[in-house]
Amino acid sequence: MKAFTNANPRDLPHALTLIQQAHSSGQHASIAGGGSDLLGMIKERIVEPDVVVNLKAIKGLDQIFTYKHGPGLKIGGLATLDSITRHQVIRRQYAVLAEAADSVATPQIRNVGTLAGNVCQRPWCWYFRNGFPCYKAGGNQCFSITGENQFHAIFGGGPSFIVHPSDTAPALVALDAKFHIAGPKGERTATLSEFFVLPRQNAARENSLAPDEVLVAVAIPSAHPGTRSAYHKVMDREAWTHAVVSAAIVLDMDKDVCRSARIVLGGVAPIPWRVPDAERVLTGQRITPELAAKAGEIAVAEAKPLAKNAYKVPLTKAVVRRTVLQLAQRA
Ligand SMILES: Cc1cc2nc3c(=O)[nH]c(=O)nc-3n(C[C@H](O)[C@H](O)[C@H](O)COP(=O)(O)OP(=O)(O)OC[C@H]3O[C@@H](n4cnc5c(N)ncnc54)[C@H](O)[C@@H]3O)c2cc1C
Ligand code: SF4
């Protein structure tokens, strides 16, 4: 492990100054939330910062605010996954997010892991994490195409075929969240399509954050009465691991008729993967087992599996069908 300096800024402007000072003196600065992922990557020399800017001491960045109007919910980037899981309003009105946060890793990681760190975590592709010089490491090839691709993308792949590793990201997309970002030029807000980037847009990165920008908060619009949501995650072992396939689904229901739907898949694409055609088939309809099955079929219509991950296609179909039906039948 390369030696680095640990910096503990007192507030956000101080953090941004420290990051900028490092960059302007030719040093590499990394941002740490809980540090649970970053420190592992530093130990494995996947990243080699000169300075780690630790946001943990900044007061207020871990707060969760609820509002009656406008953004129903604003969650500070430093809020821990555990605090999101236990928050009563999130559990009641934004269940998909509470369930997604609760499905992450272990209780120990959820205690220290932050929402921003979870959304910004780097890919867990075996090749990248083991130091192969692939696109994600600044190289110009992908080893998974002809190698081990059991856990890779069936949608949106190329030239990298990673799957986005975060459980909370599909839930945030399903809830139509906006990302609040601070940088040297002030604050900006990014919609989901501006925040997450496909490898064909930038093969080395998963989001549009510049190296000197900090994800400070996530804002979620208030939920309509009648909104039901759920996160369903399939893993290759019983617990404490990333999704092989997941679905974050939000249905706005008028009794048993679906007014609108948002269906976002995890574990299957380099970004949280929305399936608008499957959403449209539910809109304005009474949800029956047949309709839920049709939504599952449509959700995978564009899938392009690799040599070893075709099993994800029927799995995705089943996860969508089952989650839609369970939500529709929920009183
Ligand atoms: C055994 C194991 C199992 C896991 N299982 C799952 C799982 O099932 N589901 C899942 O979603 N994740 C899983 N993870 C990943 C885990 O959730 C993340 O490591 C954790 O959520 C990261 O949070 P953190 O605050 O500690 O991030 P950090 O380690 O602090 O940061 C992670 C990344 O985000 C960047 N970052 C952090 N905060 C900010 C910010 N505010 N602005 C900009 N960039 C920032 C860092 O620079 C770094 O690149 C697992 C990890 C392990 C080790
Ligand atoms: S899928 Fe992405 S991270 Fe994995 S080897 Fe290919 S380029 Fe690297």
Indicate if 91 and 231 belong to the same structural domain: no
Which residues span the domain enclosing 292? 227-329
In a domain, 312, yes or no: yes
pLDDT band at 75 (very low <50, low <70, confident <90, very high): very high
Question: pTM to 2 decimals?
Answer: 0.97
Of 10, 38, 55, at which residue does a domain stop? 55
Which residue blocks in the chain are alpha helix, DSSP H?
12-24, 38-43, 81-86, 88-93, 95-102, 107-112, 115-120, 126-129, 168-174, 192-195, 276-282, 289-299, 312-329
Element at 29 (helix H, strand E): strand 29-32
pLDDT digits (tens, 9 = 90+) for 219-258: 999 988 899 999 999 998 776 789 999 999 999 999 989 9
Distances (CA, A) of 178 to 1, 19, 169, 311, 322: 36, 24, 11, 33, 28
Q: Is residue 135 part of a domain?
A: no
Q: For 255-277, write each residue's pLDDT tens digit.
A: 989 999 999 999 999 999 999 99
- Give the binding-site residues of ligand 1, using a 6 Å CB cut-off: 30-38, 55, 77, 104-105, 109, 112-114, 116-118, 120-122, 165-167, 209, 214-215, 240-242
Q: 157 in ligand 2 pocket by Cβ < 6 Å?
A: no
Q: Is there a domain that residue 293 lies in?
A: yes
Q: Are residues 28 and 92 in the same domain?
A: no
pLDDT at 240: 74
Q: Are 272 and 196 in contact (CB under 8 A)?
A: yes
Q: Say yes or no: 217 and 235 in one domain.
A: no
Q: Does residue 143 sit within a domain?
A: no
Q: Are residues 43 and 176 in the same domain?
A: no
In Å, what is the CA distance from 156 to each residue of 13, 201, 260, 303?
A: 37, 11, 25, 9
Does residue 5 carry a pLDDT above 70?
yes
Residue of the nearest CA to atom 19 in ligand 1?
Answer: 37
Residue 325 covered by a domain: yes
Whether residue 204 is predicted with pLDDT greater than 80 in this model: the reply is yes
**Mean pLDDT in residue range 73-102:** 97
pLDDT digits (tens, 9 = 90+) for 103-142: 999 999 999 999 999 999 999 999 999 999 999 999 999 9
Same domain, 272 and 322: yes
68 CB neighbour count, 10 Å cutoff: 6
Residues 192 and 310 in one domain: no
In a domain, residue 203? The reply is yes
Same domain for 251 and 287, yes or no, is yes
Ligand 2 pocket: which of 125, 140, 200 to mutate (most atoms <8 Å of CB)? Answer: 125
Domain CATH code at residue 49: 3.30.43.10
Do the domain assignments include residue 302?
A: yes
At which of 31, 55, 79 does a domain end?
A: 55
**Does any domain span residue 307?**
yes
Same domain for 195 and 239: no
145 CA closest ligand 2 atom index: 6
How many domains are there within the chain?
Answer: 3
pLDDT at 313: 98
Pocket test for ligand 1, best of 28, 54, 109 (most atoms within 8 A of CB): 109
For residue 239, the model assigns a pLDDT of 67
For residues 263 and 182, state if they share a domain: no
Residues 292-315 have pLDDT tens digits of 999 999 999 999 999 999 999 999
Ligand 1 pocket mutation, candidates 106, 120, 237, criterion most atoms within 8 A of CB: 120
